[in-house]
Structure formats: C-alpha cells, structure tokens
Structure 1
C-alpha cells in the first residue's frame, strides 16, 4: 500500500529540479532554465565526441599514435557522459515517472561518476605519456608498448568501477550532484569518510599528476631552448644569433600557451566541483544552486576535452579536414594554397631511417619537442667536434697547394728543356 501511494504521489507531483528547489523568483521558470542548460551541454558533448570518434575510425594513421589511444578512450567515456545527461532532461520533461527513486538515483549516480573518473584518469595518462616521450625520447618505444597501453586502459576502467562501488552499500553519495529526484537531494547524503576516500584515491592524484607532468615539460622546454640559444650565440655571427633567438623563442611561447590552456581548463572546470564536494560532505557549506553549477561545470569538461586534446593534434586536424573536404572544398583549397608557398629545406629534415625497424609514431607536439632537444645536443656536439679539426684541414690544404706548385714548376722546366 505504501509503495503504491508513493508511486501515485510521485506521478501527481511536479518534477524535481535543483534550481526550482532553491526558491528563487517565480517570474522565471527555473526548471525550464535547467532543462535548457542540460540539453545544450548534452548536444555539445555528444556532437563533439562523435566527431572525434568518427575521425579516429576514418583516419588509420591516428591509430599509430600512442596518445590517440587515451584520447579515444576519453572520447568514448565523454560520449557516454553526454548520453547519460539525457536522463535528467527526461526527468524534468515528465518522462521518468513511476520509477524507483532510490535505485534510479544510485544507479545513475554510480554510472556518471565512473564515466567522469575514466575521463579524468585519461587526462592524467595523456600527461604521463607526453612526459615520458619528452624526458626519455630514445627509450620511449620500448617503455610505451601497445600491450602496456591496452593494459593501462583496462586498468583505468576497472579502477574507476571499483572506487565508486561502495556507494551501493550505504557509504554515501559518490559525488554526482545533478539530482534527478527529490530523494537524491534530500535522503542521499554525502559522508566525509567516503568523500575523503574518493578525493584521496582519484581526484587529488589526477590533479597532482597533471600539474607535475605539464610543469616539468614546460621547464624542460625552456631549459633546452635557452641552451640552444646560447650555443647559437657562441658559434655563429651576431646576425645569425639574433635570427636563431627569434626562431626559437616562438616555439617556447607556443608550447607555454598549449600547456597553460591544458592545465588552466582542467583546474577551472574541476576544482570548484572538488571543493564543493569536500565542503558539503563535511557539513560546512551546502547550497543547491552551487551544487548544480559545480556539477555541470565539471561535466562540461567532457566537451572541452575533445577541443583541446584532439584539435591540438596536427594529424587529427588533417583527418578532420579530409573528412569535411567534400562539404567545404573551397575552404580546403584556400588552406592548401596558403600552405603551398612555404619551402621546406632538405637540411631541416633530419630523420634517420633504420632498415628492418618498425616505425614508431608519436604525437606531433611531443615529436617537435623531442626534435628540439635532440637538435640542441647534436649542434653542441658537432660544434665541439668540428672546432679542433679546422687547423689540420688548413695545413693539409697548404701542403697540397705547395705540392701542386712544385709539380707545375717541374713540368715547365721539362717543356723548356724540350
């Protein structure tokens, strides 16, 4: 009897929304605003990640890049996050009436938390992959193998599924605050022990790994760029030295901007959610509007990932251009015409191909930084090795010149004698 009355009561009551429960002005229907925001983010997340997945399947070269495996995993997780965002929209649009609120809240909160965890862990794996590629470029192919990549991806999914599993056994809310029923907001509370457990084992390690790896990459790039500039100034003329400083200052700034965008977007979107999660579980601060804003700000990271990590890959941009070339042939022709006049000197292409060796494909940004580091070491070794050999070469040339003059004199004497 109680269950049937609860179902009838839930079917007759209006749908629950966090902004409407906050008690703001009735002139504006806050539930409609909530539906519009959720649907807008849902469309962006699904469309952006579908394009990423489609380009990966249509561009076979992208499968050879190690970073692309993590980007693809992150794209699938973010796509599922976008699909799961349809559930709150359906709830607000009166399509989820008659369901068991407790089971639906727990199942939906667990699913979204696992998908967000996979996306966040993939960001940390991408940063570690780039850090290894730059700090150990020669042993990168032996350290990062396809078998280890697959094992790492499986471990990310299993770890994310296990870490939120205690939410089904009464440990508390796993961290998702986009409540779809009133039971989720009023009866399902966060607990300090479970919140600290999630932050200590997931959010804090991922944030520290991203900060450490990208900070170290930027520091290494600046250090080696400074060394190359000093060697240019030592072994070249003043005009060439100024030219080298200008040419090498641009990549330094470009890498700095890329790393700044990656870290700033990550922390801006995730830190408010983590802080509110800790404050609410400790009982220090609780507000339904703050809960809604921080949750959907963190979920919007699923759309920003496909922009930052995919469009920053030059091979992905080429695959995207080829994919949309039938739709926009004139724009593609303009870009090709702009890129055509740029000459490529044969001296700048310093690649060594070994017979019988399998080609190793690395992310273009990582490859550029690795080439920059190796080029600086090669220039310094070449300058140090060639400098002592200049005088012996001149001596050999002077000896050859004196021998030629003696032979010419001997031939002239023979001709005069004849």
Structure 2
C-alpha cells in the first residue's frame, strides 16, 4: 500500500531523489489531456493538408507558397511536440535525460526556423509590392527553396551549439529525477535572443511598415485614375488587388504569430540564467502550439485555392492520374 507521499513522487522507489508531481484535481487533469490531445491532432491534420496541397499541385509551386510550405512543416512538427508536453503535464519526465535535451533542441530549432521563415515571407511580400517589375526575376522558386533550406540548416547548427553542454551531458542541471531542465550560457542566451527573436521581429516590422506605405500610395494613385483605366489597366488593377489580398493574409499570419510567440520569449527573458523548466512554460508553449493550429485556418479563410485543394484531398481526387496538373488557382 503506497503512502500519500509516495504517490506525489515521480519515481517513488527513489524516495528523496525523485521530483514531486504537480498535483491537480482528476477532472482538471483529464480536461488538460483532452484539450492538448485535440490541439495536437488538429494541428497535425490541418498542416498536413497544407503540406499535401502545396507539394502535390504544380500550380501552387510559387515562391510565396513554398515559404508557406516551410511554415506548415514547422507547424506540423509543433503539433507533434505537443505530445511531449502532454507527457510532462504532471511535472514528471519519464523519457530519459537525453530525450529531454532533444525535446528542447527541437523546440528551439522549430521556433527559430518559423521566425526565419516569417522573415523570408516578409522579404517576399516586400519585393512583390515595392518592386513588382523585378519580382519574377529576383524571387524564383529555386532561390526560395535555397533560402528555406539555408534557414533550417542555420537554425539547426546554431541551436546545437547553444545546447551543446546539455547534449553532451544530458540532465547535468536537473535537481531531481524526473525533472527536464536545460540551461543556456549567458553569451549564447543573448545571441539566441538577438538572432532568433529581436533581430527577425525588427526586420519584419520595418519591412511591413515600408510595404503598407507603398501599398497606400499605390491605392491612392489607382483611385485617382480609376475613371481613365483601359482594359489593360483593369487587368493591372486586378493584379494589384490580388497582391494586396496576399499582403493582408500574410499580415494576419505574422501578427498572430508574434502575439503567440512574444510570451514564450518573455518567459525566457525572465530567467536570470536563461533556465527553462519544461513544466513551468506549459502556458506559453500551449499559446505557441495554438498559433500552429490557427495558421491553416487563416489560409482556409483567405485562400480559395486552399479550400479547393482540401476538397480534392478529402474526396481522394488527388489519387487520379494527372491530378497534380489541375489548375487549382482557377476560380469559377
């Protein structure tokens, strides 16, 4: 018969060496498990639809959509990371010290790569709106792919260096068995903050301020000459409207992303030694997870091609021969 004190321990057999569980009412714990499991399933499913859509249909292989594909991959991985958050919801880590370090490494890489992708999306929209005549020559699918690969590689290499000590000696900073903690040195912590958050956010804000200034100038010019537009001018206007719609959509994605990500880095800044406990950042991590679930819903709201491609996937029409050549961008 276990005593009450033993039931509070992650590893009762280790007695004083074991961490204590976070005790919650049973019904509340079940509610948390169900909520996180639902978010995980929804996040993975929705982002897989985005990944399949852009990967399958050739008409969607545009530079902007390739960047959205990179974002969807990171969001899908976030959905899988939620499973680890479910495991440690009671404050106990049972997967070993090395897996703890790998969990944080993946978290760091995915977060950094997501922000890097947001920067690339901002640059893409900046060139499209501010230098439309040079867009097709400067921003190509090949260059976009190279930038995406470089973003993920740099993020992986840099955060392997940031967490090097934790990867070489997993669990060295744990105070008890069942704890999952990593510690980042001050220099690396500052570098990570500048390169993975402050720098990208500044670039995104500056680019979008320029985009909106140029967009508003173009809108006023179009309104002032609307009466004199020819047929060719109407086509140009439709192109401008399409570009502005893309800007609005991406703007919503980026604003929601920053709102969900800022608390995460706020918790990072609050630690004097940049120490993060897996159980102590549950709320901000869930907020970050929620953002990954929201992005595909934003696409469904603003992009007709995404709704059409989902219909093709659900009805299994993508299994037909030649379905990849379907003009999914065509609107009836």
Do the two structures share a fold, i.e. TM-score over 0.5? Answer: yes
Give the equivalent residue in structure 2 for 1:82. Answer: 79
Name the structure 1 match of 2:39: 41
Tell me the equivalent position of 1:337.
none
CA distance in 2, matches of 1:66, 1:219: 23
Question: 1:226 & 1:148 partners in 2: Cα distance?
Answer: 33
**1:316 maps onto 2:306 in alignment:** yes
Which runs of 5 or more residues in structure 1 are unaligned?
A: 1-7, 173-180, 237-246, 328-360, 365-418
Give yes or no for the alignment of 1:304 onto 2:294. yes
- The superposition leaves residues 248-272 of structure 1 with CA deviations (integer Å, 9 ceiling, x where unpaired) of xx99996786465234312210111
Deviation digits for residues 74-113 of structure 1 (CA, Å, limit 9, x no counterpart)? 222221222232233345699974x432x12111110222
Residue segments in structure 2 that go unaligned for 5+ positions in a row: 1-8, 168-176, 230-237, 318-326
Pairing 1:277–2:278 present: no
Distance 2:188 2:111 in 1: 17
Tell me if the contact between 2:50 and 2:296 (Cα under 8 Å) persists in the aligned partners. yes
Provide the aligned length of Structure 1 versus Structure 2.
291
TM-score, normalised to structure 1's length? 0.58
Offset of 1:289 from its aligned partner? Answer: 7.7
**TM-fit CA distance, 1:198:** 0.8
- 1:118 aligned residue: 113
**1:13-412 map, 5 Å:** 21=22, 26-27=24-25, 31-63=29-61, 65-90=62-87, 97=94, 99-101=95-97, 103-170=98-165, 182-185=178-181, 188-232=182-226, 258=249, 261-281=252-272, 291-309=281-299, 311-324=301-314
Structure 1: which 4+ aligned runs deviate by more than 6 Å?
93-96, 250-256, 285-290
- What secondary structure sits across from 1:85 in the alignment? helix
| Cα pair 1:116 1:299 within 8 Å, conserved | no
Counterpart contact for 1:117–1:160, Cα < 8 Å: yes
Distance 1:294-1:104 versus aligned 2 partners, 3 A rule: same
Point out which structure has higher relative CO (alpha carbons under 8 A, 6+ apart): 2
**Bigger Rg, which one:** 1
The structure-2 alpha-carbon separation of the partners of 1:223 and 1:84, relative to structure 1 and needing over 3 Å to count, comes to same
Q: Relative to structure 1, is the Cα distance of residues 290 and 264 closer, same or farther in structure 2, using a 3 angstrom cutoff?
A: farther
Give SS of 1:183's match. coil
